[in-house]
Amino acid sequence: MNKLKLSGIYPISPHYIKSDDDYLEKCFNAITSGINIFQFRSPYFSMRKKRYLLGEIYKYCLNFDVQLIINNDYNLASLYEGSGVHIGKRDLPIKLIKSVIGTDRLIGFSCGGEIIDLNQLKENGISYYSIGAYAKSLTKTNAEELTQETIKKYCDNNDLPMCIIGGLDMSNIESAMKYRPDMVAICNGIFNQDKDRIKETIKKFQEIIDAKS
């Protein structure tokens, strides 16, 4: 596992789409901004749409040495060599997922706001975990916000790379960094703006992270 890839700003692609070209330009600008890792999340797209968009995004990630993670769909991830998958507790057993995508792929795990045994995740081959929502999220409207107690428990037992997710933007990323996460996952805080501002926004986020590291 390349831990250098599991660090910094972790953009998650938007679940809404204005046009294919606009969507892909936004993703391209994020992927070419100097990030290490990028997640493709597409819960409302048809499989045909997913395959088209992902085909382009996969090429961007290969060309710019960015680790691609595909949300939930391990069968889709198996079609793109080197891509990882991000799963939750309702998904299939990790052993079965590994039998489909291979044992060398990165697997992220969503803990949500619950306390999950990190040792068990590590034994099962999980590469990193996410906790959230840190704040009210427009992407996952039903996600409960994290309590400080929950975050601190994870910080005290942090054997795996940790990602904080959910409702993060310029107004709260600095407060999130006091917990020293390895990654900060952001969707609307990056993509809910004109495509020409994506790189500048990510640079500002990364400057805040670097200042607090």
Three-class SS state of 59: helix
Range of the domain at 64: 3-212
Domain CATH code at residue 140: 3.20.20.70
What averages of pLDDT result for each successive group of 10 residues across the chain (213 residues)? 82 93 98 98 94 98 98 95 93 89 95 92 94 82 79 86 96 94 97 96 95 81
Angle at 22 between CA 138 and CA 75, to 5 degrees: 70
What confidence score (pLDDT) does residue 143 get? 67
Number of domains in the chain: 1
DSSP for 105-159, written as a single string: S-EEEEEETS---HHHHHHTT--EEEE--SS--SSSTTPPPPPHHHHHHHHHT--
Give the model's pLDDT for residue 16: 87
Name the β-bridge partners of 128: 108
Q: Which residues pair with 183 in a beta bridge?
A: 8, 163
pLDDT at 49: 96
Q: What is the DSSP letter of 10?
A: E
pLDDT for 20 equals 96
**Cβ contacts of 179 within 8 Å, gap of 6 or more:** 151, 152, 155, 164
Q: What is the pLDDT of residue 159?
A: 81
Q: What is the pLDDT of residue 185?
A: 98
How far is Cα 164 from Cα 172, in angstroms, rounded to an integer? Answer: 12
Torsion of CA 31, 187, 182, 119, to 10 degrees: -120
Name the token pair of 31.
């992927």
